[in-house]
Amino acid sequence: MSANNVANNAANNKLGKVGVLFGGRSAEREISLMSGNGVLQALKDKGIDAHPFDPGQRSLAELAAEKFDRVFIALHGRYGEDGTIQGVLEQLGVPYTGPGVMASAISMDKIMTKRVWLSYGLPTPRFVVLDAKTAQREELHDVPDELGLPLILKAPHEGSTIGIAKVIGYSDMREGFDLCAKYDDVVLAEEFIRGRELTVPVLGAGRSARALPIVEIRAPQGNYDYEHKYFSDDTQYLCPAPLNEVLTLRIQSLAVQAYNAVGCRGWARVDFMLRSVDDEPFLLEINASPGMTGHSLVPMSARSAGVSYEDLCVEILRSAALELKPSENWKPA
């Protein structure tokens, strides 16, 4: 074994008992299981004392009883990416990966994320918010007049392309709205940006935050749905995305600005549309706990930068932290 490997193993041992949180209770449970199992194996391969924990099947009392020294959050969607589990871990005093309570809650809400970005002058598509229970036919009919056609309808608290519909004509509004309303109390109607779909992983915090290589997603007929995202081999991924250097740096800088505006730290992934008519980038959303499956985009981007899946997992784990420091006289039970 080389001296570097000995040093790395010694450093990994100092990370203590690590919990990998995956599964959970959200609509994205299936993907979280895939992500979490990948992360768990990668950490074990690096000699880290990693253990699985599924909050969808085990209680928070059991989580506390495990006495993890830190945890890697591989949960997606509600109860795992929205600030709730982050708040639990703050209470338990267990450092965790990814953004803190507030940034997780904001990034899980696509509407609030857009409002924060707009307050910073960052570009995001125009939008209208509709009440899922009270929106009337006339109100739905007015949305295409305001945003144009086609447009996109989204359940603002879901991910993995769950609860999303593309509206081509006025007659599609009701069906698309009803689909999204199954998942949320409000529906986000968003201007459709015709162009190229891009995503940028960001690691770090504050001034040290850095963007990884840009990934361009080319799905069949532009339909990057649940099947094409996780299970199909038909979707093409180009990394680094074929963009000129000036545009690449601009989009990466915008990703870091968007990340910091929401208050993220650790890691996240920022999604864009690049408008075809003028190469103007528009921010779509930010993912506070991105996928780590075999089809996932953060590992793909990291590989392009020369970082293996295993090393990426370790780097993210090392960034685990608490936002609220326990008082000096506090001791865990």
- Catalytic residue set: 28, 160, 230, 269, 271, 285, 287, 291
Among residues 200, 203, 208, the alpha carbon closest in space to that of 316 is found at: 203
| Residues 118, 99, 181, 271, CA torsion sign | positive
Write down the residue that tokens 């990948």 correspond to.
Answer: 38
Structure tokens at 23: 């599964």
Alpha helices in 205-277 (DSSP H): 226-230, 245-262
Among residues 302, 304, 274, the alpha carbon closest in space to that of 290 is found at: 302
Could you tell me the strand order of the sheet in which 186-191 lies?
127-131, 186-191, 151-154, 164-167
Cα–Cα distance measured from residue 132 to residue 179, given in angstroms and rounded to the nearest whole number:
10
Cβ(208)–Cβ(315) under 8 Å? no
Cα–Cα distance measured from residue 298 to residue 274, given in angstroms and rounded to the nearest whole number:
19
